[in-house]
Amino acid sequence: MTDTLDIKITKTSKSRLAETDFSNLVFGRTFSDHMLVADYSDGEWKNFEIVPYGEITVSPGISALHYGQSFFEGIKAYKHGDGKVTIFRPDKNALRFNKSAERLCMPAMPEDVFLQSLAAIVDIDRDWIPTEQGHSLYIRPFMFATDQYLGVAPSKTYKYMVLTCPVGPYFSKALRVKIETHYTRSAAGGMGFAKSSGNYGGSMFPAKKATEEGFDQLIWTDAKEHKYIEEMGAANAMFVLDGKLITPLTQDTILDGVTRDTVITLAKDQGFPVEERNVSVAEIIEGAKNGKLTDAFGAGTAATIAPVGSISHNGEEYTLIDPAQRDFSRKILQTLDAIRYGTGPDTHGWNYFV
């Protein structure tokens, strides 16, 4: 990286590293020693600091709490066998970060500043990066409005922060999923493509109902007719149907996932047919019935490649092929892991070295 960003660093006086049980990491519950903070006011980003992880003080009147001007990103860092540290495809996250900011009337973050801020916090807490396969350092950049104003208008001031968490696998088993036919995650013209905090808040009630029914995730469908698949709660939805990788075309209701793009690129590298298009519920259910649906999984930064074990629709449940017997997702995950952990060639230059 080009070290041009002026960041004030205050290191913790007592690291929590030694007391952390890396063999028992619950995703998103364990935080590294430090966090990065910065402010936006008077039209510019300023006051970049790395400080010990801890509580922050905000006014109860800030507009983020009342009107939802907040969003985030999810990225991962890895440690290679030779000790080198990389962040996986952060440039893609930088682009999506600014798409979210624009949709929410929030200030853009220059890509080089975004990348350098991630590198700085990862570098100072590089000892927190797990080395076990399937483990990584999860990076959570986020921004929220800070004007003390109870009025429906964009804030003029903002806070940018970056937290990191050592994590293991997000899911530990093949997923039992339900196709949602009543509730809606996002509608055309909305902000489903943004990583807005409100998108996730609105999805929690139907997800809770699904969990109470024994499901692990929902597959969201279009708001108008519930005939077309959009995405899963924690990942983009991907299927191998009749020998082709098919996945919903990204639009304003669907998040343009970095892992989704990675899987598509790797599939094309391997000469595997790929179709990005409207994916109907009917064809997925028919494929599950006749055996032409040979693979189904969620693709996301947290989830990585999360195999779907069964799909339920209108009270009927369809069990899919054992994930261990699925050639496509298993090989894609092996290729992806080799790139991320430095055991295979990175022909696309996806690893950003810290």
- Segment 53-105, tens digit of pLDDT: 999 999 999 999 999 999 999 999 999 999 999 999 999 999 999 999 999 99
Is residue 217 over pLDDT 80?
A: yes
What the block records as the tokens of 333 is 């995950």
pLDDT value for 3: 61
Q: Give the domains, in start order, of the chain with CATH numbers.
A: 8-168 (3.30.470.10), 175-340 (3.20.10.10)
Residues 77/129, Cβ–Cβ less than 8 Å = yes
Rounded-to-integer distance, Cα 135 and Cα 28, Å = 12
255 close to 192: Cβ distance less than 8 angstroms? yes
Alpha helices in 49-110 (DSSP H): 63-67, 90-103
User: Span 317-329, mean pLDDT?
Assistant: 96
> What is the pTM (predicted TM-score) of this model?
0.96
pLDDT higher than threshold 50 for residue 1? no
Q: How many CA atoms lie within 13 A of 57 on its CB side?
A: 0
Closest CA to 162 of 109, 118, 198, 116: 118
Judge whether residue 327 has pLDDT over 70. Answer: yes
With a cut of 50, say whether residue 2 has pLDDT above it: no
What integer best gives the mean pLDDT of the chain? Answer: 96
Across the range 308-337, mean pLDDT stands at: 96
In contact, 114 and 99? CB cutoff 8 Å? no
Quick: pLDDT tens for 218-269: 999 999 999 999 999 889 999 999 999 999 999 899 999 999 999 999 999 9
* pLDDT single digits (tens) 118-164: 999 999 999 999 999 899 999 999 999 999 999 999 999 999 999 99
What's the pLDDT tens digit per position in 181-215?
999 999 999 999 999 999 999 999 999 999 999 99
* Coil, helix or strand at residue 91: helix
Alpha-carbon span 200 to 220, nearest angstrom: 13
| Phi, psi values for residue 92, rounded to 5° | -65, -40
Look at residue 172 in the predicted model and tell me its pLDDT: 86
User: Does the pLDDT at position 115 exceed 70?
Assistant: yes
What pLDDT is stored for residue 233 in this prediction? Answer: 83
Dihedral sign of CA atoms 174, 166, 23, 81 in order: positive
Residue 39 near residue 47 (C-beta atoms within 8 A): yes
pLDDT value, residue 191: 94
CA–CA separation, 187 and 272 (whole Å): 31
